Structure 1
């Protein structure tokens, strides 16, 4: 059976086009730019993480540019929050969606205050991405999940590679504070009662979820907990010529499950996976389905397509990232596409290096 998604799916890489986006003008400290109407601001909270996932997207963004993970950070908390508020205030007229990310943001002592500051400016959509390990930690007298609910966050993305604990633990390699399914059940219950929609993120891997049957078991397992939004991702494509971490490169190549193969099977199961829509970005492609009462997204992406697409529209800002050193950039690298440089003469900086 042919799917209505088949045509665009087959030509998606040829159709990546940064020029197809609707934008609006905005001035960044005297620099006139065009900003994507649905732009997102990611607040990169910390570089440290208590898991050691060999597929880590945070690390891959640096590897994909042939760089090592070295970050300069504002050491003083008060200086950091003064700078963060300055950036949030400047960007509020754009009203971007907000994503809190890291590292593992729930393990940062700064997180509750960041949540409050984002809530103060009432941005249209607020999301936190986490491996879940710190959601039940108590900080300032409350669990982190309670801070998230109280500050009006709309979505919570949780990385979970498998419903079987031993398989998930082997892939994500937590050094401490493993986030188990019983904790997941508690977190989902609290989130839903506070109008925060949890979404699970599962990377397709040969050693993890690797087939339609396994995907359905995953959906049923977490659907029973009340989760109604799950995304399955193919490992990202990238420029292999600049990758210098050979173990990571080998892992990504050996473990890759191609969504094209999954989709060809799903085309025969449209009575189970009902096609809803498809989304083509400038370096990614998604298909959205309905499985029972669950919204299911399947995404493929190509990191090596980002720079060529940006070169077509050099004055366009597609996403913004607030980095640990106080720079606001149009890139996940803190020294690239700087929109609002942090130039405080008396700033206190420290350095953190993590070899990836």
Structure 2
């Protein structure tokens, strides 16, 4: 495949899904006929469609390019918004079964005493040639078993940090969820809570952010504990065994909370689970250096929850109405280039939305 062909193929398959959804949801019979006629004119059923066959009256074909074109995605999302979302139970069950067969989040998502005995030589997720011996003191940091005893949860919210959340008024809707996942320790207090909510059951924590903001947690321990207190009884989820550099920082967070009798509990991603999850998504075309925490948690949520809705997942610099939007709802700091492949990840999440497996919130929430 020529350079840029892989991304073009990803967009093309997404457009095909969109076309099928438009056919299904359209109440305008003439419009449906036009779409059907165009599909039959472009090629016989059952044969691979050339890129031009994916064009619909509302969707322009992305141009072949090595670059990710934000405008192509925004046009696709505008078209998606024209179709009411509908949950597809069979699609959901099939995808959930695929995830469970490869990864089994219910048993393997978190390092526990049940799945990681003392004396284990655990390989790191990314630096897999390196191992850490699970001595008794480390073993005692782990919960006895997976801590999510009420699994499967009914309604779950996965809250990203996209600037699209600003002025969304989604806070009340998020807080009504049975279980709320948040990504990378974002601010949730003050006036922003009306947009992002405050309920938190699990929040991922990037050790690099801890080091940058709080140093070694000695001088800024009280500030750290005050900030963490806003998350109530949440679990703090850290990738202690992804890179060796993360281990000491993650253990310091654990020990700081334990010594202070904090309400929050520290849990650790299991590196084997994350490796298996990366292999799963690689078969779907996501070949980046490492998955983002957003895609990791979305995958976990699909396994642990009956209904999943995503908020604040928006890797674009503009809204569908073409107005500028910050990268995060609390700042505009851009991620490292080359670390995550956000266009490919977002394409996968759009696929899940189109298939009725989960629901993406694209704009403001409706207020009851």
TM-score (norm 2): 0.35
Greater strand content = 1
Q: Determine which structure has greater relative contact order: mean sequence separation of CA pairs < 8 Å that are 6+ residues apart, divided by chain length.
A: 1
Compute the TM-score of the two structures, normalised by the length of structure 1: 0.36
